[in-house]
A and B are shown apart, each in its own frame.
Chain A
Amino acid sequence: MSAHSAGIARFKWLIPATYILFLMLPIYWLLNMSFKTTNEILAGFSWWPSDFTVDSYVIILTDPTWYMGYVNAIIYVTLNTVISVAFALPAAYAFSRYRFLGDNYAFSRYRFLGDKHLFFWLLTNRMAPPAVFALPFLQLYSALGLFDTHIAVALAHCLFNIPLAVWILEGFMSGVPKEIDETAYVDGYSFPKFFVKIFMPLIASGIGVTAFFCFMFSWVEMLLAKTLTSVAAKPIVATMTRTASTSGYELGLLAAAGVLTIIPGAIVIYFVRNYIAKGFALGRV
Chain B
Amino acid sequence: MSTLELRSVTKVAGGETHIDAVSMTLEAGSLNVLLGPTLAGKTTLMRLMAGLEKPTAGNVIADGRDVTGEPVQKRNVAMVYQQFINYPAMSVYENIASPLRVAGADAATIEREVKKAAELLRLTPYLDRRPLNLSGGQQQRTALARAMVKKAGLVLLDEPLANLDYKLREELRAELPRIFAESGAIFVYATTEPTEALLLGGNTATLDRGRVTQFGRTVDVFRAPVDIVTAQTFSDPPMNTVAAVKQGDRLALNTGVSMPLRAPGLADGPLIVGFRPHHLAPSQTAPDAVPMAARVIVTEITGSESFVHLAAGEERWTMLTHGVHDLDPGTELTVWLEPRHLLLFDPSGRSVASAAHAARAA
CB < 8 Å neighbour of A183 from B71, B73, B85, B89: B85
Residues of B within 8 A of A193 (CB): 102
A186 touching B77 by the CB < 8 A rule?
A: yes
CB < 8 Å neighbour of B71 from A185, A187, A198: A185
CA distance A193 to B73 in the complex (A): 12
Contact (A201, B50) CB under 8 Å given A183-B81, A187-B150:
no
Residues of A within 8 A of B87 (CB): 180, 183-184, 198, 202
Per the 8 Å Cβ criterion, residues 27-56 of A in contact with B are none
CA distance A14 to B85 in the complex (A): 48
Residues of A within 8 A of B98 (CB): 184, 187
A189 touching B85 by the CB < 8 A rule?
A: no
CB < 8 Å neighbour of B15 from A108, A179, A184, A188: A108
Interchain nearest-CB distance for B185 vs A (Å): 14
B14 located at the interface, meaning its Cβ lies under 8 Å from any Cβ of chain A in the complex = yes
B72 located at the interface, meaning its Cβ lies under 8 Å from any Cβ of chain A in the complex = yes
Interchain nearest-CB distance for B127 vs A (Å): 18
CB < 8 Å neighbour of B78 from A105, A179, A186: A186
Per the 8 Å Cβ criterion, residues 85-144 of B in contact with A are 85-89, 98-99, 102-103, 143
**Binary contact readout A160-196 vs B (1 if CB under 8 angstroms, 0 otherwise):** 0000000000000000010110111111111001000
Residues of B within 8 A of A189 (CB): 73, 102
B72 touching A185 by the CB < 8 A rule?
A: yes
The residue of chain A having its C-beta at the shortest distance from the C-beta of B87 within the complex is A198
**Binary contact readout A104-146 vs B (1 if CB under 8 angstroms, 0 otherwise):** 0100100100000000000000000000000000000000000
The residue of chain B having its C-beta at the shortest distance from the C-beta of A102 within the complex is B14
Residues of B within 8 A of A202 (CB): 87-89
B83 located at the interface, meaning its Cβ lies under 8 Å from any Cβ of chain A in the complex = yes
Interchain nearest-CB distance for B149 vs A (Å): 10
Contact (A187, B99) CB under 8 Å given A108-B15, A201-B89:
yes
The residue of chain B having its C-beta at the shortest distance from the C-beta of A188 within the complex is B102
A188 touching B85 by the CB < 8 A rule?
A: no
The residue of chain B having its C-beta at the shortest distance from the C-beta of A198 within the complex is B87
Residues of A within 8 A of B73 (CB): 185, 188-190
Interchain nearest-CB distance for A237 vs B (Å): 38
Residues of A within 8 A of B89 (CB): 198, 201-202, 204
B72 touching A186 by the CB < 8 A rule?
A: yes
B79 touching A108 by the CB < 8 A rule?
A: no
The residue of chain A having its C-beta at the shortest distance from the C-beta of B50 within the complex is A186
CB < 8 Å neighbour of A186 from B14, B15, B79: B79
A187 touching B102 by the CB < 8 A rule?
A: yes
CB < 8 Å neighbour of A187 from B15, B52, B88, B146: B146
A177 touching B72 by the CB < 8 A rule?
A: no
The residue of chain B having its C-beta at the shortest distance from the C-beta of A200 within the complex is B89
A179 touching B85 by the CB < 8 A rule?
A: yes
CA distance A183 to B82 in the complex (A): 12
**Binary contact readout B315-329 vs A (1 if CB under 8 angstroms, 0 otherwise):** 000000000000000
CA distance A239 to B269 in the complex (A): 97
CA distance A198 to B87 in the complex (A): 7
A108 touching B14 by the CB < 8 A rule?
A: yes
A177 touching B146 by the CB < 8 A rule?
A: no
CA distance A149 to B143 in the complex (A): 52
B79 touching A183 by the CB < 8 A rule?
A: yes
Residues of A within 8 A of B71 (CB): 185
Per the 8 Å Cβ criterion, residues 92-106 of A in contact with B are 103, 105
Q: Identify 27 residue pairs between A and B in the complex whose beta-carbon atoms are under 8 Å apart, listed by A's number.
A: A108-B14, A108-B15, A177-B85, A180-B85, A180-B87, A182-B52, A182-B72, A183-B79, A183-B81, A183-B87, A183-B143, A183-B146, A184-B87, A184-B98, A185-B71, A185-B72, A186-B77, A186-B78, A186-B79, A187-B146, A187-B150, A188-B99, A188-B102, A188-B103, A190-B73, A198-B89, A202-B87
In addition to A105-B15, A177-B85, A202-B89, 8 A-B residue pairs with Cβ atoms within 8 Å of each other are A105-B14, A180-B87, A182-B52, A183-B81, A183-B85, A183-B87, A184-B98, A193-B102
- 10 shortest interchain CB distances as A-B pairs: A188-B102, A108-B14, A201-B89, A187-B99, A179-B85, A185-B72, A186-B79, A179-B81, A183-B85, A108-B15
Binding site for B on A (CB under 8 A): 103, 105, 108, 111, 177, 179-180, 182-190, 193, 198, 201-202, 204
Binding site for A on B (CB under 8 A): 14-15, 50, 52, 71-73, 77-79, 81, 83, 85-89, 98-99, 102-103, 143, 146, 150
